[in-house]
């Protein structure tokens, strides 16, 4: 039972941390970020299992994490009011060719990053954009004029 309680705590902690870090940062990981995630994974494992290296302990932890993941997906599907909390909401960052600086700041994103994303989608200038939306997965959707 101790493993389940530890796993639930770590799941909630990881959920809160990933929401605080922001979707944009998580969608564009640098090599350092990937290494940091591996280190965090090892630290989480040590914190959850302590010195329990049994197959039963590993199975309990994995099953609990899987159950919590399915539970949050089901809650998001079943209860629409929880969806913004669990998944986030899309954020409009360009409207009729005008960059919405306030929304960019809130998402800790620069105009240069936005322009780079537009160029990757074959859009030469943000003036050509009717709407640009930072989606909940960290990607940016552009709708041209």
* Record: fold of 91-144: CRO Repressor (3.30.240)
pLDDT of 134 over the 90 cut: yes
The band of 3, judged by pLDDT with boundaries at 50, 70 and 90, is: confident
Average pLDDT of the segment spanning 137-143: 89
Q: Is residue 22 very low, low, confident or very high in pLDDT (cuts 50, 70, 90)? A: low
Q: What's the DSSP call for residue 145?
A: -
pLDDT at 28: 62
Predicted confidence (pLDDT) per residue in 81-133, tens digit: 988 888 888 999 999 999 999 999 988 889 999 999 999 999 998 989 999 99
Torsion of CA 115, 116, 120, 122, to 10 degrees: 30
Kindly tell me if the per-residue pLDDT of 43 is higher than 70: yes
Q: What is the pTM of this model?
A: 0.67
**Letter string b/e over residues 50-70, b meaning 16 or more CB atoms within 10 A of that residue's CB:** eeeeeeebeebbeebbeebee
Q: Give residue limits of the domains in the chain.
A: 2-87, 91-144
pLDDT at position 44 over 70: yes
For the segment 52-75, the average pLDDT, to the nearest whole number, is 84
- Which pLDDT belongs to residue 45? 78
Alpha helices in 2-143 (DSSP H): 2-21, 23-27, 31-49, 55-78, 83-87, 101-106, 111-120
- The mean per-residue pLDDT over the stretch 3-21 comes to 83
pLDDT of residue 116: 92
């Amino acid at each position: 039972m101790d493993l389940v309680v530890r796993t639930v705590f770590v799941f909630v902690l990881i959920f809160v941390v990933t929401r605080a870090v922001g979707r944009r940062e998580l969608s564009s990981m640098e090599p350092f970020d990937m290494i940091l995630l591996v280190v965090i994974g090892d630290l989480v494992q040590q914190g959850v299992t302590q010195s329990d290296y049994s197959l039963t302990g590993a199975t309990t932890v994995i099953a609990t994490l899987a159950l919590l993941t399915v539970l949050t997906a089901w809650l998001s599907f079943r209860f629409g009011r929880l969806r913004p909390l669990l998944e986030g909401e899309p954020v409009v960052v360009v409207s009729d060719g005008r960059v919405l600086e306030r929304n960019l700041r809130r998402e800790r994103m620069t105009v240069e990053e936005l322009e780079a994303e537009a160029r990757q989608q074959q859009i030469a200038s943000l003036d050509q954009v009717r709407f640009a939306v930072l989606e909940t997965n960290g990607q940016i959707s552009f709708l041209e004029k």
